[in-house]
C-alpha cells in the first residue's frame, strides 16, 4: 500500500496517495509482529507527511513528522529520522518559523552516514530555499547548484529540473527574465516528457510571473490561470494561493484595481495551513495596497502596506520587504523606506522590478 501511495504521489494524485497511506496505516496497526508494525508505520507516516507537504498542508505535515520522530528516536532509526528532520526543516522554512533553526543541521549528517546522495541533495536544496528567503541569494544559488550536481550524478532528471527552476526563480526576481524563462521552459519540457504534473505546473506558474514582470500581461494571466487550475487539480493549496496572489499582481499591473483587490482578499481569506507563510502574506498585502491606492483609498492602502512590511520583517523575507518598502516610498514619499529598499535590492543584485500604476482614479 505504501508503494501504491508513493506512485500516486509521484503522479501528482495526492488525494489518492493519502487514501492509500491511510489504508496502509490501518493494515500496519493490525500486524502482530511489533517490529514489522513499527517499520510499516514509519514508512507510511513519512509518505503521508511528504504528500501533505506537497499539498501545502503544513500543519498536518509537521504533526505527522513529529509522530514519526517520536517513534523512530527510541530505536535509533537513522533511515527514518533523516527524511523526517528534512521535512521539518523545510516546512518551518516555508512558514517563516524560527523553529527552522532547530532542525537545520540534523538531516545532512544522517544522510552522509547512510551514504544517501539523493537525501544529501534534498538537504542542500532546502537549505538553499532558506538562504533565498533570508536574502542570501548568492549562497542560495550555490546550494541549488550543489544539489543539482548530486542529482546529475544519480541520474535524477526531475530533481535536476527542479534545482534549475529554483535558480531561475532568483534570476526572475533579479529581473534577468530571458535567462529565467529559458530555464522555466526547460523545466516544463522535462515535466511533460516524464509525466511529472507538479513540475509542469510549477514551471508554467513561474513563466507566467516572469511574463508579468516583463509587461506581457495577457500572456502572464493566461499562464497563471492555467497553472492555478493545475494546482487546484493536484490539491496543492499553498501553490494555488501563491498563484492567485500573482494573478492579483497582474491585475494591479494592468490597473484593474477591483480585480486585484478581490483576488488578494480571497487569497488572504483562504490561507488555512499556509497562514504562517509570511512572504506570501506580505505580497498579498502589498498588492492590496496598490489596488486600494488606485481606488483612491489612501488610508486603507497605508494600513495594507504596514501589514506587508510587518509580515516581511517577521518572516525575515528580505525581497518581499524591499518590494513593500519600494511601494511605501512611492505612495508616501517615505525617504527612509526608499533608502532601505534600494539597499536591499542592490544587495540582492536586482536590476528591475515591476511597479503598478499608482494614479488614483
Mean of pLDDT values over 254-283: 85
Q: Examine the fold and report which residue of 84, 99, 115 is the final residue of a domain before the chain moves on.
A: 115
Residue-wise burial string across 99-118, b where 16 or more C-beta atoms lie within 10 A, e elsewhere: ebeebbebbbebbeeeebee
CA distances from 298 to 23, 291, 356 (A): 54, 10, 15
Range of the domain at 268: 260-361
Structural domain contains residue 210: no
Percent of the chain with pLDDT over 90: 73
Contact of 56 with 274, CB cutoff 8 Å: yes
Number of domains in the chain: 2
Is the model's pLDDT at 3 over the cut of 80? no
Q: Examine the fold and report which residue of 89, 115, 141 is the final residue of a domain before the chain moves on.
A: 115
Q: List the one residue out of 217, 308, 234 whose CA is nearest residue 268.
A: 308
Q: What is the pLDDT of residue 293?
A: 95
Mean of pLDDT values over 42-59: 89
Cell digits of residue 287: 498588492
Q: List the one residue out of 162, 224, 169 whose CA is nearest residue 198.
A: 162
Phi-psi region of 2 (alpha: psi -120 to 50; beta: other; left: phi over 0): alpha
Confidence of residue 185 (pLDDT cuts 50, 70, 90): very high
Residue 195 burial (CB count, 10 A): 12
CA distance 131 to 7: 31
Structural domain contains residue 148: no
Cell digits of residue 283: 505580497
Structural domain contains residue 133: no
Structural domain contains residue 243: no
135-144 residue pLDDT tens: 899 999 999 9
Q: What is the pLDDT of residue 275?
A: 46
Mean of pLDDT values over 17-40: 82
123-161 residue pLDDT tens: 999 999 889 988 899 999 999 999 999 999 999 999 999
Q: What's 83's domain CATH number?
A: 1.25.40.10
Place of cell 501563491: 242
271-304 residue pLDDT tens: 754 545 788 999 999 999 999 999 999 999 999 9
For residue 174, the SS3 value is coil
Q: What is the pLDDT of residue 361?
A: 56
71-81 residue pLDDT tens: 999 999 999 99
Mean of pLDDT values over 57-75: 93
Structural domain contains residue 283: yes
Q: Examine the fold and report which residue of 115, 144, 176 is the final residue of a domain before the chain moves on.
A: 115
Comparing 321 with 59, which gets the higher pLDDT?
A: 321
Angle at 94 between CA 88 and CA 98, to 5 degrees: 70
CA distance 351 to 171: 10
Contact of 281 with 311, CB cutoff 8 Å: yes
Structural domain contains residue 139: no
Mean of pLDDT values over 300-317: 93
Structural domain contains residue 298: yes
Contact of 342 with 316, CB cutoff 8 Å: no
Q: List the one residue out of 356, 205, 341 whose CA is nearest residue 295.
A: 356
Confidence of residue 358 (pLDDT cuts 50, 70, 90): confident
Contact of 283 with 323, CB cutoff 8 Å: yes
Residue-wise burial string across 16-29, b where 16 or more C-beta atoms lie within 10 A, e elsewhere: bbbebbeebbeebe
CA distance 246 to 262: 13
Cell digits of residue 31: 500486524
Q: What is the pLDDT of residue 219?
A: 96
CA distance 163 to 142: 11
79-115 residue pLDDT tens: 999 999 999 998 998 887 888 889 999 999 999 999 9
CA distances from 285 to 102, 222, 234, 360 (A): 29, 23, 26, 18
13-25 residue pLDDT tens: 788 888 888 888 7
Confidence of residue 31 (pLDDT cuts 50, 70, 90): confident
CA distance 202 to 159: 13
Structural domain contains residue 181: no
Amino acid at each position: 500500500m505504501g508503494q501504491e501511495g508513493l506512485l500516486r504521489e509521484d503522479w501528482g494524485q495526492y488525494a489518492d496517495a493519502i487514501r492509500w497511506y491511510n489504508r496502509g496505516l490501518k493494515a500496519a496497526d493490525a500486524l502482530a509482529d511489533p517490529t514489522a508494525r513499527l517499520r510499516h508505520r514509519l514508512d507510511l507516516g513519512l509518505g503521508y507527511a511528504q504528500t501533505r507537504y506537497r499539498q501545502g498542508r503544513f500543519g498536518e505535515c509537521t504533526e505527522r513528522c513529529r509522530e514519526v520522530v517520536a517513534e523512530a528516536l527510541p530505536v535509533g532509526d537513522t533511515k527514518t529520522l533523516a527524511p523526517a528532520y528534512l521535512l521539518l526543516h523545510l516546512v518551518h522554512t516555508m512558514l517563516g518559523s524560527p523553529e527552522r533553526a532547530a532542525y537545520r543541521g540534523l538531516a545532512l549528517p544522517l544522510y552522509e552516514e547512510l551514504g544517501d546522495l539523493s537525501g544529501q541533495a534534498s538537504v542542500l536544496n532546502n537549505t538553499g530555499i532558506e538562504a533565498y528567503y533570508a536574502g542570501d541569494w548568492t549562497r542560495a544559488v550555490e546550494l541549488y547548484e550543489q544539489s543539482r550536481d548530486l542529482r546529475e550524478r544519480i541520474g535524477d532528471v526531475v530533481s535536476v529540473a527542479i534545482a534549475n527552476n529554483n535558480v531561475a526563480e532568483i534570476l526572475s526576481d533579479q529581473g534577468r527574465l530571458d535567462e529565467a524563462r529559458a530555464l522555466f521552459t526547460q523545466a516544463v519540457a522535462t515535466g511533460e516528457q516524464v509525466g511529472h504534473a507538479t513540475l509542469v505546473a510549477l514551471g508554467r506558474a513561474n513563466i507566467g510571473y516572469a511574463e508579468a514582470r516583463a509587461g506581457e500581461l495577457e500572456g502572464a494571466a493566461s499562464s497563471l490561470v492555467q497553472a492555478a487550475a493545475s494546482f487546484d487539480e493536484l490539491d496543492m493549496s499553498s501553490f494555488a494561493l501563491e498563484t492567485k496572489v500573482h494573478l492579483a499582481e497582474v491585475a494591479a499591473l494592468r490597473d484593474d484595481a477591483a480585480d486585484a483587490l478581490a483576488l488578494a482578499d480571497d487569497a488572504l481569506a483562504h490561507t488555512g495551513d499556509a497562514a504562517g507563510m509570511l512572504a506570501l502574506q506580505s505580497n498579498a498585502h502589498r498588492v492590496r495596497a496598490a489596488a486600494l491606492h488606485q481606488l483612491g483609498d489612501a488610508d486603507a492602502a497605508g494600513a495594507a502596506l504596514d501589514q506587508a512590511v510587518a509580515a516581511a520583517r517577521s518572516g525575515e523575507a528580505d525581497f518581499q520587504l524591499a518590494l513593500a518598502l519600494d511601494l511605501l516610498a512611492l505612495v508616501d514619499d517615505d525617504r527612509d523606506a526608499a533608502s532601505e529598499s534600494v539597499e536591499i535590492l542592490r544587495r540582492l543584485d536586482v536590476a528591475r522590478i515591476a511597479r503598478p500604476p499608482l494614479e488614483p482614479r
